[in-house]
Amino acid sequence: MVRSPYFTPDHAAFRERTREFLTAEVMPSAAAWEREGGLPRSLWKSFGEQGYLGLLHPRSAGGGERDLFTSVVFLEELGRTGFGGLRAAVSVHAYMATHYLAAAGTPGLRRDYLGPALRGESVAALAITEPGAGADLSGLTTTAERDGDCFVVRGVKTMVSNGTVADFHVVAVRTSPDTGSGPHGTTGLSLLVVDSDLPGVTTTPTPTLGWCAAGTATVAYEDVHVPADRLIGRASSGFYYLMRGLQLERLVAATLALGGMERCLDDTRHYLTERRLFGSTLSELQAPAHRIADLATELAAARQLVHHAAWLYEQGELPTTECSMAKLYTTELACRMADASLQLQGAHGYLDSSGAARTYRDARAATIAAGPSEVMRDLIGHAVLRTRPSSGAGRTGGQERA
Ligand SMILES: Cc1cc2nc3c(=O)[nH]c(=O)nc-3n(C[C@H](O)[C@H](O)[C@H](O)COP(=O)(O)OP(=O)(O)OC[C@H]3O[C@@H](n4cnc5c(N)ncnc54)[C@H](O)[C@@H]3O)c2cc1C
């Protein structure tokens, strides 16, 4: 257990319990789920029964209403499994798609969608990205046109994690043209819950380099009639909800990366101490030892950055800059660490079946998903360079995607 002022003995006990659960329920089958390209229903149910899918959600919605550091523990442990697809699938469901339902959903949406999702009876996806627009939300073109008591949805979403298995999608749509009253191209956006089995919804699996168990898909919506009461919050306020939700998304991505790096460092250390060459073990050679020293030092710095951002978030602030820094630093460090780990494991690491190869592939996704590193640098740069803090620029981040 890492000693830290942020964690209590209760967190330590929760970490132990969570690690035991993941060791028993996840690790024996995780590689098979990677090959199959998705998680089984039974696993979602187990996560739900343990309360893991609703740690942060309010009790009134069926969640555990635990403090943020309980989620930090859960996400670190989930990351520590070393399976990026698993951690993406679970976090998109528990901290991204369902977050919007908890934050702004009507009692009906909470009852019909959030409750079953937190119990693991249904699976949620978040569908924002389109073939023509990702980082730049102003380019989103999927529309939801009001027709009586329905919205008619037309458009295509891509890179939808959980897309192959989700029962419902939280979809970013245009319910009205941009009025220009906010950041360019963002004022007409809304969030809508769309059942994946509605007529007109077509899901096509999209194999990816890593995160293979995340069930990534492209989803086409062709004249899909969605009851109007599936709107999350106010119409045309989607950008506002996204800007708030995306801070949590970045923090979650950073925390998962922390856990993933703990695992990567453990695996590398194990290999170095076992592998014999030139009459000793690799760990006794100075070059690998120094490489490990650098990575362990950077990981310790990353941990403080993430925990501090989480602490600020817990205080009720919206620490855009700190969340961006945490996401940027951890996900890029995870790539460097995965690269070093593979190099240090030689040809063993390069085998397609090796953990080092999977870590390498998985790490690569995280500097793009939940907002590319360049967008994080834009946000941090604006915040650092702005001369008048009261201007607000950089705090909510323009129209760029996180
Ligand atoms: C594994 C994975 C899972 C994902 N899961 C989901 C999901 O569940 N739901 C969902 O909606 N989306 C998901 N995404 C999509 C993700 O959010 C987008 O990939 C991301 O927002 C970037 O959009 P884009 O890929 O269209 O890249 P673009 O917006 O086309 O950008 C391309 C590249 O341009 C550069 N760039 C972008 N902005 C700037 C800038 N301001 N300055 C300089 N350079 C810039 C970056 O290098 C970026 O990678 C996922 C992506 C990945 C890789």
Q: Find the angle CA(29)-CA(117)-CA(174) to the nearest 5 degrees.
A: 115
Task: Give the distance from CA 223 to its chain's centroid.
Answer: 29
Cβ-based neighbour number of residue 115 at 10 Å: 18
How many angstroms is it from 286 CA to the middle of ligand 1?
39
pLDDT at 397: 44
Amino acid at 19: R
Task: Give the distance from CA 246 to its chain's centroid.
Answer: 10
- Please tell me the distance from the alpha carbon of residue 391 to that of residue 71, in angstroms, as a whole number: 33
Parse the chain into domains and list their residue ranges: 9-123, 125-234, 239-391
pLDDT at 402: 43
Ligand 1 atom closest to residue 92's alpha carbon, by position in its atom list: 8
How many angstroms is it from 382 CA to the middle of ligand 1?
20
Residue 132 has pLDDT above 90, yes or no: yes
- Please tell me the distance from the alpha carbon of residue 325 to that of residue 376, in angstroms, as a whole number: 7
166-198 pLDDT per residue, tens: 999 999 999 998 777 777 778 899 999 999 999
- Please tell me the distance from the alpha carbon of residue 218 to that of residue 162, in angstroms, as a whole number: 10
128 lines ligand 1 (CB under 6 A): yes
Residues in the chain, overall count:
402
Ligand 1 atom closest to residue 88's alpha carbon, by position in its atom list: 3
Q: By CB neighbour count within 10 A (0-12 exposed, 13-18 middle, 19+ buried), where does 300 fall? A: exposed
Ligand 1 atom closest to residue 162's alpha carbon, by position in its atom list: 8
Six-digit token pair at 340? 């070093």
How many angstroms is it from 401 CA to the middle of ligand 1?
8
**Pick from 103, 74, 92: nearest CA to 7:** 74
Phi (first) and psi of residue 296, to 5 degrees: -65, -35
Q: Report, as an integer, the average pLDDT of 57-79.
A: 96
208 lines ligand 1 (CB under 6 A): yes
The DSSP call for residue 60 is: G
Task: Give the distance from CA 70 to its chain's centroid.
Answer: 16
Ligand 1 atom closest to residue 127's alpha carbon, by position in its atom list: 11
How many angstroms is it from 42 CA to the middle of ligand 1?
31
346-376 pLDDT per residue, tens: 999 999 999 999 999 999 999 999 999 999 9
Long-range contacts of 74-78 (CB under 8 A, 24+ apart): 74/14, 74/18, 75/252, 75/255, 75/256, 75/259, 76/15, 76/255, 76/256, 76/258, 76/259, 76/262, 77/15, 77/18, 77/19, 77/22, 77/259, 78/22, 78/256, 78/259
> Strand ranges (DSSP E) for 273-342?
276-277, 280-281
CATH of span 9-123: 1.10.540.10
Question: Residue 181, SS3?
Answer: coil
89 lines ligand 1 (CB under 6 A): no
Pocket mutation for ligand 1, best pick of 159, 206, 364, 382 (most atoms within 8 Å of C-beta) = 159
270-294 pLDDT per residue, tens: 999 999 999 999 999 999 999 999 9
24-48 pLDDT per residue, tens: 999 999 999 999 999 999 999 999 9
Phi (first) and psi of residue 72, to 5 degrees: -60, -45
Ligand 1 atom closest to residue 402's alpha carbon, by position in its atom list: 21
CB 124 within 8 A of CB 92: yes
CA contacts within 13 A on the Cβ side of 164? 19
Long-range contacts of 392-395 (CB under 8 A, 24+ apart): 394/320, 394/321, 395/318, 395/320, 395/321
How many angstroms is it from 330 CA to the middle of ligand 1?
17
- Please tell me the distance from the alpha carbon of residue 56 to that of residue 392, in angstroms, as a whole number: 28
101-129 pLDDT per residue, tens: 999 999 999 999 999 999 999 999 999 99
Six-digit token pair at 256? 């998962």
Q: Which residues have C-beta within 8 Å of that of residue 66, sequence separation ≥ 6? A: 55, 56
156 lines ligand 1 (CB under 6 A): no
pTM of the model: 0.95
Tally DSSP H helices, then E strands, for the chain: 14, 10
Topology adopted by domain 239-391: Butyryl-CoA Dehydrogenase, subunit A; domain 3 (1.20.140)
Task: Name the residue with the closest Cα to ligand 1, atom 25.
Answer: 134
365 lines ligand 1 (CB under 6 A): yes
Task: Name the residue with the closest Cα to ligand 1, atom 51.
Answer: 369
CATH class of 125-234: mainly beta
Lowest mean pLDDT among 306-320, 324-338, 385-399: 385-399
The DSSP call for residue 224 is: E
Six-digit token pair at 236? 């045309």
**Pick from 167, 186, 175, 178: nearest CA to 151:** 175
161 lines ligand 1 (CB under 6 A): yes
Residue 390: band (very low, low, confident or very high) from pLDDT cuts 50, 70, 90: low
129 lines ligand 1 (CB under 6 A): yes
pLDDT at 401: 61
292 lines ligand 1 (CB under 6 A): no
